[in-house]
Amino acid sequence: MGAIELEGLTKDYGEVVANDGVTFDVDRGEIFGYLGPNGAGKTTTIRMLLGLISPTAGTARLLGRDVTDEDQLLEAKRQLGYLPDSPAFDETATGRDVLDLRASITGDERSEELLELFQPPLDREIREYSRGNVQKLGLVTTFMHDPDVVILDEPTSGLDPLLQQRFAEFLRAERDRGVTVFFSSHILSEVRQLCDRVGIIRNGRLVTVEPVESLLDRSGKVVRLRSAEPISRADLEIEGVHDLEADADAAGSGTEYVFTFTGDVNELLAACREHRLLDLSIEEAPLEDVFMRFYDGDGADDGTDEPDRVAADTDARGDADV
């Protein structure tokens, strides 16, 4: 049983279908990133999972409980921590008051340890809190009852780099002790660093669910090579070469070739051996480019008629766009 199980989850607002048949599972003990451009439907999924809005169709289960059943939802929520994108606390309460109230409602297994880690100023009233301090207090309230599953909406917004790092280490340790983390983020470096798998949603429809590593792998590498003499296009018709650009006036001498490469690096190196290379670099494609393909509708099988660039690249590697 997955920690989160969504099956055909749909929310139809009439003018817009905010979630359209969203189906995926989040395993126990994994960090799952839920990504997509603004208005894609992330918050809608989260709100349905929390029982705040009801689905038009489909099912959502949290720790095996049907979230549309009030009793089952209540049971699931005891083991759930939730951090909204803008945590709202009583403005006139102090941080200490907020924690005392939370402790009386959800319990308190570990606030001491969390306070040491995130250090919100407990004696001040919330109205005097900065955005970052609200977020620190939110992290303490999310984890203080030691939940099995946490849902985090943009968890590091407002945190300084030191605290972001501390939070990342904390989250990995939580995952290692079996906690399931479902979080939405726009910070791609954070996604890369933290997530085991990602789900990407666009226009209410899920466009991919896969490990971050495989997403990067099949999106290819960026290859830059500089050759003393020009290389003919035919010589660069190697399986997996895409978007080839040549620049005869590259810095230094020779001609620079830049392309995305999804093929076998050994084959590329073998082909390069026939030329006098001045420079060669092979880098991971920038994460932004990888995600933008999906965000722009240029990336995956979403059931629409839009171009399917990554899949096409993978299927037709012999068909280099040179």
Ligand X SMILES: Nc1ncnc2c1ncn2[C@@H]1O[C@H](COP(=O)(O)OP(=O)(O)OP(=O)(O)O)[C@@H](O)[C@H]1O
Q: How far is the CB of 152 from ligand X (least distance, A)?
A: 13
**Separation between Cα atoms, residue 260 and residue 240, nearest integer Å:** 8
Q: Which stretch binds ligand X (CB under 6 A): 11-19, 116-124, 191-199, 266-274?
A: 11-19
Quickly tell me which residue has 């939730």 as its tokens: 82
Applying CB under 6 A, does 43 fall inside the site for ligand X? yes
Of 108 and 153, the one with the shorter C-beta distance to ligand X is 153
Q: Tell how strand 31-35 and strand 197-202 pair up.
A: parallel
Which one among 3, 26, 30, 42 touches ligand X, defined by CB under 6 A?
A: 42
- Please give the full DSSP string across 105-156, using - where no structure is assigned: HH--SSHHHHHHHH---TTSBGGG--HHHHHHHHHHHHHTT--SEEEEESTT
Of 38 and 92, the one with the shorter C-beta distance to ligand X is 38
Residue count at the site for ligand X (CB under 6 A)? 11
As a whole number of Å, the end-to-end CA separation of the chain is: 47
Of 18 and 290, the one with the shorter C-beta distance to ligand X is 18
Of 44 and 111, the one with the shorter C-beta distance to ligand X is 44
Of 58 and 254, the one with the shorter C-beta distance to ligand X is 58
Applying CB under 6 A, does 231 fall inside the site for ligand X? no
CB 148 within 8 A of CB 79: yes
**Separation between Cα atoms, residue 76 and residue 260, nearest integer Å:** 46
**Separation between Cα atoms, residue 227 and residue 58, nearest integer Å:** 56
Q: How far is the CB of 39 from ligand X (least distance, A)?
A: 4
Q: Tell how strand 149-153 and strand 17-26 pair up.
A: unpaired
Q: 44-103: which residues touch ligand X (CB under 6 A)?
A: 44
Residues in contact with ligand X, shown as a per-residue x/- string from 172 to 211 under the rule CB under 6 A: ----------------------------------------
Which one among 18, 35, 171, 241 touches ligand X, defined by CB under 6 A?
A: 18
Of 13 and 284, the one with the shorter C-beta distance to ligand X is 13
Q: How far is the CB of 203 from ligand X (least distance, A)?
A: 8
CB 132 within 8 A of CB 157: no
Q: Which stretch binds ligand X (CB under 6 A): 41-49, 55-63, 95-103, 206-214?
A: 41-49
Two tokens, residue 298:
């240029």
Please provide the size of the chain in residues.
Answer: 322
Two tokens, residue 51:
């029982």
Contact footprint for ligand X (CB under 6 A): 13, 16, 18, 36, 38-44
